């Protein structure tokens, strides 16, 4: 099989909220939490743009069982480190009520550079995502994978959405994080590239025009990694539970592998217009799993469940070959039945009318299965 030339390893990065357990607000304590976490995790834990954020990155994983055990270990250690500083850890795409104006930028050159370049966009960048890397070392083939995978970004977002609240308001979105992020000039779905040379020419033009300093500042929903021999999927909110994060990692790897094998067979792919994919991602951010989504190949609105089932059918051969079909499909169906993180947050708020209770839910779900 062509896939034997690539390992399709998995790496997962998660961005967590640091929470004051009394007020339930974001807590700008990363320089106190990070050293405690580093004692156990070393370079697997990092600061992020805001001092109320902390990020983990798994080692290279080869199975979903590896992904699960690493996420359990990393979440456990970060939660323990935060507890030693009197704080909690929460995994959700936005904080329900803490204001961006009360956050403090992490004083590292990369983030200071973001502030210089993007100003207000950086101040309001209090959002939390999950990035999944899949090992594909041949960048020419990785471009062809990106061309094919872009049509399936919307169901990934709908399943992971966990950011309905912003500044004490129900935004009406399942993933308001997506809307905040979409304002950045090099965010959103990528266009189709005919070749790696065309991609590299665009990167060079962006650098020459002083739009970006270097290629790591391209923030598309799926992109070639500049740091690792991987393709990186960045479309999803951070998942509240380990189960959901494992689900997303499994779906992403199966998607990348399925698209890779299609590319190796030189199969045609739907050259869907960029505007339609943007609309599909917007609709997934707006409604999550609660309303119709867009089948971009058929160019029509379909029930969310129908689109997710089509996605599962597309990646099923890959999941079955890895022995992951039963686990991933059951996690997907459980998410559709229980609701994504956004739905569960809204259910708590509807029941109690307290956003503090929503934060408590997120904290509990972040730690579920970790202790």
For residue range 140-194, list pLDDT tens digits in order.
999 999 999 999 999 999 999 999 999 999 999 999 999 999 999 999 999 999 9
Question: CA angle 172-238-363, nearest 5°?
Answer: 90
The encoded tokens of residue 206 equal 């962006």
* Residue whose token pair is 């997506």: 178
Question: What domains sit in the chain, N to C, each tagged with a CATH number?
Answer: 2-367 (3.30.590.20)
Ranges of residues in the chain with a pLDDT under 50 are 1-3
Do residues 256 and 136 make contact, with C-beta atoms less than 8 angstroms apart?
yes
* Residue whose token pair is 């189960």: 243
Cα of first residue to Cα of last residue in the chain, in angstroms, is 40
Q: Please state, in angstroms and rounded to a whole number, the distance separating the CA atoms of residues 354 and 343.
A: 15
Enumerate the β-bridge partners of residue 301: 294
* Nearest to 248, CA basis, from 362, 160, 340: 160
* Residue whose token pair is 């509990």: 364
| Overall size of the chain counted in residues | 371
Longest dimension (CA), the chain: 57
Q: What is the predicted pLDDT for the residue at 215?
A: 87
């Amino acid at each position: 099989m062509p896939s034997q030339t690539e390992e399709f390893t998995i790496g997962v990065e998660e961005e967590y909220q640091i929470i004051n357990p009394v007020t339930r607000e974001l807590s700008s304590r990363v320089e106190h939490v990070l050293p405690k976490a580093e004692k156990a995790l070393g370079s697997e834990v990092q600061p992020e743009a805001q001092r109320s954020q902390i990020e983990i990155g798994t080692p290279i994983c080869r199975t979903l069982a590896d992904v699960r055990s690493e996420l359990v270990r990393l979440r456990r250690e970060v939660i323990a480190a935060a507890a030693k500083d009197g704080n909690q850890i929460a995994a959700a795409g936005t904080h329900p009520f803490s204001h961006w104006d009360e956050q403090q930028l992490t004083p590292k050159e990369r983030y200071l550079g973001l502030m210089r370049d993007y100003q207000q966009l950086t101040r309001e960048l209090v959002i939390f995502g999950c990035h999944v890397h899949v090992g594909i070392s041949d960048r020419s083939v990785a471009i062809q994978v990106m061309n094919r995978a872009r049509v399936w970004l919307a169901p990934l977002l709908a399943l992971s959405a966990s950011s309905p609240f912003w500044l004490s308001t129900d935004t009406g979105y399942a993933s308001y994080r997506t809307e905040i992020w979409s304002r950045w000039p090099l965010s959103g779905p990528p266009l189709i590239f005919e070749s790696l040379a065309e991609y590299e020419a665009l990167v060079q033009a962006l650098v020459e025009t002083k739009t970006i300093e270097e290629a790591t500042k391209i923030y598309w929903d799926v992109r070639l990694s500049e740091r690792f021999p991987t393709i990186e999927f960045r479309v999803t909110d951070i998942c509240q539970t380990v189960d959901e994060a494992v689900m997303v990692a499994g779906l992403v790897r199966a998607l990348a592998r399925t698209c890779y094998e299609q590319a190796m067979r030189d199969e045609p792919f739907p050259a869907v217009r960029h505007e339609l994919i943007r609309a599909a991602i917007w609709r997934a951010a707006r409604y999550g799993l609660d309303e119709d989504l867009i089948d971009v190949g058929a160019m029509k609105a379909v029930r969310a469940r129908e689109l997710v089932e089509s996605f599962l059918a597309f990646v099923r051969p890959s999941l079955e070959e890895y022995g992951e079909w039963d686990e991933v499909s059951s996690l997907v169906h459980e998410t559709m039945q229980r609701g994504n993180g956004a739905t569960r947050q809204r259910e708590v708020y509807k029941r109690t009318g307290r956003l503090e209770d929503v934060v408590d839910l997120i904290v509990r779900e972040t730690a579920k299965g970790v202790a």
